Each structure stands twice: as structure tokens, then as C-alpha cells.
Amino acid sequence: MPLPPDLPIVDHHAHLSPNGEGIDAARRFHSAGGTHLFLATQNYEPKVPHTVADYERQFAITENLARSIERTTGVVVYVVIAPYPVDLVRQSEQLGLPGAMELQSRALELAGRWVEEQRAVALGEVGRPHFPVSPALAEAAEGVFRHALEVARDVACPAVVHCEDLAAEGYRALAALAATVEFPIQRLVKHYARTVVAVPERLGIVPSYIARKEVLSASAADPGPWFLETDFLDDPARPGAVLDIATVPRRAAAILAADPGGQERLRIPFVDSVRSVYGFEPALPGEPAP
């Protein structure tokens, strides 16, 4: 079934790289019916950043890629930036744990300034390693995560969280952490959500569901807010991982083909949730941008 021209088709979290498909991947997304992309920054070099200037170059690559995609494909791109939480592990080996924490803190503050300058719409990915680390590293990561929420709070933007998959207990712990810095819970997004947790147990945190068929099926009755994402990595060594960039528009088309009322369901991740979390509606081509 053709996608409705008045319905934005939004991938809430993907990575693109000038070392991978880059703009060509965005063209595939657009050809499949995608209209809007939240582009999360990533490390574009084998070594992790060692200075704030390294992070500034990384953020600039993401921003330049976003603007190039818009010029060449018509896809609207929203930039999401922050130092990757897992960087802390390797940085601590080379800079020491205090030095690594200081670098992450300063890079988060740089990302916050970019949000204030309207060069980015959110801080992400922020959070903690999704695998076991030493107690000292775990404590340091929580401290950096708390500071990330403070920065996002102060610049009034969402925070997109990288961490282990969450069940109800995990959502409670994440909400408790946000409460310690008075971060507005309705602007906290759990990236790469794979487990569908009932709305009351999410405590206001917004899941960004990975667009796998089984997750979409489990979330069929979810009233929102929630997002859909591919977490496309654009890594030549892992083609199509995590999901291919064209997956969200293809899933949207399948939902519409199977359910005449599917358009209202798709407005939840593509329109209503963007409005409630980010404060704007994704403009369609020819409409004024927010």
C-alpha cells in the first residue's frame, strides 16, 4: 500500500557515516517512503576522541552530513549529539578515570551549547555501558550520565538514553535517577527499546522501539508516546545492522496494508510523540520547518 502523502515517516534513531553508505543510505530511506530522520552522532575514526576538539570535529561531521542529506534527498534530518557513553571505558585506560570523566563532561557541555544554538535537537546517546564493567567504571558512568541529564535539563532538550534493555524495574531505576537532577521525565527517551512495558510502569519515560516485527506486534495496543527506530549503524563490516535504513517505511507500509485504521496508530510515533517529546511536529516537504 502506498504511504499517505500527509503522514511523516520518521526513523527516530539512525547513524550514518561518510565512511559507509552515508547519503546513499538516506536516498534508500527516502525511496522507501521515509521523510524524517533523527541522526545520532557516532565515532567516525577507529580511536575514541581524546579531546573536546575531537568531539567538536565529530559533531561537525554529523551536522554536515545532515545538511547534505537534506539538500540532496529532501529528507528532513534532526541532529542528536553527545559523547558516546561507552567511550568512557577506553578513555579511562588512556587518560585515567578522572581525566575521562572530565572529557565526557566538557563534551556534554559542548553538545548542550549546540542545542542552544539550534544545531541539534537532543543530547544522545547518553547513559551507561550496556555490558558489565568494573565497580569504579560503573560509578563513573553514572556520574557522567547524571551530568548529561543536568545539561539536557538546563538547555531544555530531550535526552536519548543508551543502556541495557529495560523491564519495569529498569524504568523505575531510570526514573529515580532522573528525579535526582529534576530532569523532566517526559523528555527522557529509552533508545533501542526491545521490551514492551505497560505505560504506567514506564513512569513517563518514552521508549524508542527497535522496528522488528515482533516488537511492533507486542506494541500494537501501546497508546504512546513511543517512537520507531532502526539504529542503522552504516558500518561496512556489518551491512544492514542493526536494522536496514529502509525498515521503518517498510514496516509502516505493512501496517497500513494490514489495518485500515493503521494511519492513526502510526501517528503516535511519527507525529504525536515527536510533538510531545521534542515540542514540534515534523513538517512535510513544502511545509514550513518547525
Identity of the residue numbered 200:
P
Average pLDDT of the chain to the nearest whole number = 95
pLDDT digits (tens, 9 = 90+) for 75-116: 999 999 999 999 999 999 999 999 999 999 999 999 999 999
Q: Tell me the CA distances in angstroms from 45 to 69, 107, 137, 227, one per residue in order.
A: 21, 17, 23, 29
Query: How much is the pLDDT for 260?
Result: 77
Domains (ranges, CATH) in the chain? 10-278 (3.20.20.140)
Asked if the bond preceding 89 is cis, omega within 30° of 0, the reply is no
Does residue 159 have a pLDDT over 90? yes
Give helix then strand counts, H and E, for the chain.
Answer: 11, 8
- Cell matching residue 156: 531544555
Q: What is the pLDDT of residue 240?
A: 86
Spatial strand order of the sheet with 206-210 comes to 10-14, 36-40, 76-81, 122-127, 159-162, 188-193, 206-210, 227-229
Terminal CA-to-CA distance of the chain, rounded, Å? 29
Measured distance CA(233)–CA(188) in Å, rounded: 22
Side chain identity, residue 182? E
- Locus of grid cell 510515533: 269
Residue range 167-181: mean pLDDT, rounded: 98
Residue scoring higher pLDDT (2 or 172)? 172
Instruction: Give the E-state strand segments of 83-156 in sequence order.
Output: 122-127
Rounded Cα–Cα distance for residues 47 and 271 (Å) = 37
Residues 152 and 158 sit within 8 Å (Cβ to Cβ): yes
pLDDT digits (tens, 9 = 90+) for 240-272: 899 999 999 999 999 999 987 899 999 999 999
